[in-house]
Structure 1
Amino acid sequence: MTALNTGRSVAVIGSGAMGAGIAQVAAVAGYTVRLYDTRPEAVAKAIAGIASALEKLVAKERINAIDCASAVARLQAAVTLADVADAGMVVEAIVENLEAKRALFAQLEAIVAEDCILATNTSSISVTAIAAGLRLPGRVAGMHFFNPVPLMALCEVVSGLATDGAVAQAVYDTAAAWGKNPVHAKSTPGFIVNRVARPFYAEGWRLLNEQAADAATIDAVMREAGGFRMGPFELMDLIGHDVNFSVTQSVFNAYFGDPRFTPSVLQQEMVNAGFLGRKVGRGFYQYGDAAVAPQVQAEAPQPKPEYVSYTVEQGAALNVVGGAVVDALAARLRAVGIEIVQRRMPESIRQAGPHDDAPAFHCNGATVYLTDGRSATQRARDNNHSDTVLVDLALDYGSAKRIAVACADQCTPAAYHAVVGLLQAAGFTVTRLDDVPGMAVMRTVAMLANEAADAVNQGVCNAAAADIAMQKGVNYPCGPLAWADAVGIEHIVRVLANLANSYGEDRYRVSPLLRRKQASGGRFHD
């Protein structure tokens, strides 16, 4: 079975935002679409809206007028369910309710041909449960699009326990024919995106709860250092805190209370207060003409230190020690003319066993490390070096506008200010976070990679699908597993293990697949 032939029509049941969007992409791809809703006026409104959207694309020269007219002509209103009897595929986009979906598919099974594929656009309900009780459950698959459908590239093709493999592949091929980036997924709570994305929000809430910084500052660090299009709090304001909290609760309950998915009490308070985000004019931010943008924390200017050195291991080349992450920061410093004196760790120290002396920058008595999941205060104690400062992860140290730092409670102001001056001289806006384990970008990326690795380990999807899903479904700047490869899987495991030690929570347990990759020296992508 391959992609649905354009000679067979597609039926879309439900004419809301998702249903209309699905109808639009199918019609533009050359398929006759029959759109059905229990409210005929809603169908008429949806078709008019699609026509208007396509005419705007013509005005922007995204499509030509002939293709626009042809696509609109392929949209037909179905007055009754019987009008979709000859469809080769039916895509359901009705209310997110299991019993309603089961009832609809039971009706459809008595109307359509036996070779008609039944697809559900559910975002959270088990495809296995939806298909249960049907005479031919093997022809039911998930076809989860993302809103707005015409713009979002991802389609999760979800197989329930009974889904026939050929059906899943046909849905995959059809989504690709519609111009989407499809990925295969197994029907488990949250599928890929809604499961793997939970740490992006959850770690933001933990940072806020522990007073690492205010919401606007955390958002700025995630955008301007992490490369995310939006920070967690502005994104939740856009989604709606009621919606986001409900999804988190659903995933948490579906996984029988796994602490990795624990909802935030702070978000519950936002919902209780009615501070739901953009749609009500107030969330973490104020919205409207009179809204004032909150101030983002940035350190005051400090002088550049006169002397900077970089410790590497004995016998190692400077450009490979510490991995690409630390080397990229060193390259940024050198690019602006900051001279870095290379120091090598004595062989006697290196052979003595695990150490924290390399790779590290040094200036005016301060030692600067990439965070490894410990707090700066703990690392200073472990190293017996009070003047310890940590830097957070950045997507690209060569172009990042901002960098986050944290210093040990024991650190002297002079040593800390020397580090700030060094990073400012390299062109960074420096933001200080309170000394929480793992900082902001690093702990979030580590947890995203951990969740993606667990999804792969449990057969929900493969590594390529996990990364495609997060980039195409929620616009992450990098797939979490590719990011783990870039940072170094050993370092990601170290961050997670140190977070687990710091908090004493199963929430930060390391995925067995990450442990396996660490032990083998393997990567997720070659």
Structure 2
Amino acid sequence: MNPTVIGVVGAGTMGRGIVQLFAQAGHVVRCHDAQPGAAAKAVQAVLDQLTKLVEKGRLSADALAAIRGRIHVSEDLASFADCDVVIEAIVEDLDAKRALFRALEAVVSPEAILASNTSSLTVADIAAACEQPARVAGLHFFNPVPLMKVAEVIAAVRTAPAVVETLRTLSEGAGHRAVVTADQPGFLINHAGRGLYTEGLRVVEEQVATPADVDDVLREALGFRMGPFELLDLTGLDVSSRVMSSIYEQFQQEPRFRPSSLVPPRVAAGLFGRKTGEGWYRYVEGRPERPPARERPAVPAGVSVWIDPAASGHGELATLLQAAGARLEGEPARADLGIVQPWGEDATSAAVRLGLDAARTVAVDPITPLALRRTLMLTIATAPAARDAALALLAADAVPVTVINDSPGFIAQRVIATIVNIAANIAQRGIASVADLEAAVQLGLGYPRGPLAWGDHLGAERILAILRAQHAATGDPRYRPSAWLVRRVALGLPLTTPEAAR
């Protein structure tokens, strides 16, 4: 079936975006809303938005006229009788959606597809109200629909394969990358995005770093568009809190998705983020107030430094420190400062393993490019003089430095390893293909790389080592490695190859 007539029920923000998307793609679109006049307002809003595109030269007047002729306001569901596909975008309430789908089944043809734009409900729960559950699927878009070029096609347990293929073709014909996902909590994109939030919160919960520290490292050193706390403030902590708790409970309290105890008190206090003027940041005229930069101390005269020769970034770090005025020392006992670069290990453990004086030892994260931002980790016993000397040397060329407390895996290693591990478990469970998973995360979450590609970039064996070190150090099952990841490391298989997808 090649759908040409699409019904949209629900004239809110998402419904309007869906109407615009498919009308621009050349389909006849009928829009209905239970509230009188809402559909007409939605259609007018879409046409107003498209008129602005004409004024900017991004759409021709002829194209707008054609689109105007394809969008229709439907006063009742009876006018959906000729629809090939109906997309529901109403309130996130199971009873309301079930009632709507029962009503639609009485109107549309037996061949018509019924799709829900639900973001949190199980599609099978909605389909259970239908006489033909095989024709029901999820078709989840992201706001703003015309600009977010990804759509999740959710196959419930009884959804017919032909329905999935039709919705995939329909979405891609409208210019969106369709990713097919099983009917699991969070579907694909919200599921894959759990690592950024949960591990960022865990870092702050453990007093390793501040929210601003976490955001700065992930944004500036790793290329995220926004850090987790900036994102939580943007989406609203009240909303995000419910999503975090819902996914945790729906996955039978899987430790990888455990919400942070920091969140409920902040929600109770009304610290939702931008919309309340204060969240993890305080907002003045819509702009976040950021903490002042740490003052950079002067480089001590004649300071000597020993760098762990096993460090992966030894040569680059040595050049940087020498340019800042440090003298390299071959024996740690004779150096004023010892620097290690562990993977998954905290600075204190590295100092003990290497027989170093913890008071004169610091760690530098090897995962973050030294040209962008440097992360300096202290042992629990690092002396202020050693801390200041390390900070002075690392900041001498004005590249920003983030100073954090002791933690297995710094900030970046912890977050990236968690993201990769969750993605590996998605692949293990067959929730989506590797290709769809990678595309979904980049398009839907804006990550600079797909999660499994990130694992290949850093080395899957290194990701596994970080997870195992964190698991050993904390005993927390949230860090247990995915069997999918363990097996591929054992065989030397990249995470993104077709062989790895089997």
TM, length-normalised to structure 1: 0.86
Alpha-carbon spacing, 1:290–1:184, altered in 2? closer, same or farther (3 Å): closer
Q: Residue 442 of structure 1 corresponds to which residue in structure 2?
A: 413
**1:90, distance to aligned residue in structure 2 (A):** 0.6
SS at match of 1:476: coil
SS at match of 2:37: helix
Q: Which of 344, 347, 362 pairs up with 1:389?
A: 362
> Structure 2: how far apart are the matches of 1:292 and 1:175?
36
> Structure 1: how far apart are the matches of 2:294 and 2:60?
48
> Structure 2: how far apart are the matches of 1:341 and 1:197?
44
SS at match of 2:283: coil
Q: Residue 487 of structure 1 corresponds to which residue in structure 2?
A: 458
Alpha-carbon spacing, 1:271–1:514, altered in 2? closer, same or farther (3 Å): same
Q: Residue 19 of structure 2 corresponds to which residue in structure 1?
A: 23
Q: Residue 266 of structure 1 corresponds to which residue in structure 2?
A: 262
Q: Does 1:120 align with 2:120?
A: no
Q: Residue 222 of structure 1 corresponds to which residue in structure 2?
A: 218
Q: Residue 434 of structure 2 corresponds to which residue in structure 1?
A: 463
Q: Does 1:518 align with 2:489?
A: yes
**1:331, distance to aligned residue in structure 2 (A):** 8.8
**1:76, distance to aligned residue in structure 2 (A):** 0.6
Q: Which of 441, 448, 454 pairs up with 1:477?
A: 448
Deviation track 1:159-211 (CA, whole Å, cap 9, x = no partner) reads: 01111112101111111011111111111111111112112111121122222
Q: CA RMSD in A?
A: 2.9
**1:505, distance to aligned residue in structure 2 (A):** 1.3
| Structure 2: runs of 5+ lacking an equivalent | 498-502
CA contact (8 A) 2:122 2:183 kept: yes
**1:301, distance to aligned residue in structure 2 (A):** 4.3
| Structure 1: runs of 5+ lacking an equivalent | 314-320, 345-356
Amino acid at match of 1:368: V
Deviation track 1:216-246 (CA, whole Å, cap 9, x = no partner) reads: 2222222112211111112111111110000
Count of matched residue pairs: 493
Amino acid at match of 1:137: P
Q: Which of 219, 241, 263 pairs up with 1:245?
A: 241
Amino acid at match of 2:414: R
> Structure 1: how far apart are the matches of 2:100 and 2:309?
65
Q: Residue 350 of structure 1 corresponds to which residue in structure 2?
A: none
**1:335, distance to aligned residue in structure 2 (A):** 13
Please show how residues 109-188 of structure 1 align to structure 2 within 5 Å.
109-188=105-184
Q: Residue 353 of structure 1 corresponds to which residue in structure 2?
A: none
> Structure 1: how far apart are the matches of 2:210 and 2:416?
20
Deviation track 1:116-140 (CA, whole Å, cap 9, x = no partner) reads: 1111111111112211242221111
> Structure 2: how far apart are the matches of 1:24 and 1:394?
42
**1:336, distance to aligned residue in structure 2 (A):** 11
Deviation track 1:386-413 (CA, whole Å, cap 9, x = no partner) reads: 3432233656x2652x222102234455
CA contact (8 A) 1:298 1:429 kept: no
Q: Which of 199, 222, 236 pairs up with 2:195?
A: 199
CA contact (8 A) 2:371 2:399 kept: no
CA contact (8 A) 2:337 2:390 kept: no
> Structure 2: how far apart are the matches of 1:270 and 1:426?
38
SS at match of 1:466: helix
Please show how residues 316-327 of structure 1 align to structure 2 within 5 Å.
322=312, 326=313
Deviates more, 1:237-246 or 1:425-434: 425-434
Q: Residue 500 of structure 2 corresponds to which residue in structure 1?
A: none
Q: Does 1:500 align with 2:500?
A: no
Q: Residue 256 of structure 1 corresponds to which residue in structure 2?
A: 252
State the identity %. 38
Amino acid at match of 2:289: A
Deviates more, 1:218-227 or 1:169-178: 218-227
CA contact (8 A) 2:308 2:339 kept: no
> Structure 2: how far apart are the matches of 1:220 and 1:311?
26
Q: Which of 404, 409, 417 pairs up with 2:375?
A: 404
> Structure 2: how far apart are the matches of 1:302 and 1:186?
56
Q: Residue 318 of structure 1 corresponds to which residue in structure 2?
A: none
Q: Does 1:77 align with 2:76?
A: no
Alpha-carbon spacing, 1:334–1:141, altered in 2? closer, same or farther (3 Å): same
> Structure 1: how far apart are the matches of 2:69 and 2:366?
51
CA contact (8 A) 2:329 2:335 kept: no
Q: Does 1:376 align with 2:362?
A: no
Alpha-carbon spacing, 1:435–1:460, altered in 2? closer, same or farther (3 Å): same
SS at match of 1:265: coil
Please show how residues 24-63 of structure 1 align to structure 2 within 5 Å.
24-63=20-59
**1:334, distance to aligned residue in structure 2 (A):** 7.0
Alpha-carbon spacing, 1:377–1:332, altered in 2? closer, same or farther (3 Å): closer
Please show how residues 416-435 of structure 1 align to structure 2 within 5 Å.
416-425=387-396, 427-435=398-406
**1:20, distance to aligned residue in structure 2 (A):** 0.5
> Structure 1: how far apart are the matches of 2:409 and 2:190?
23
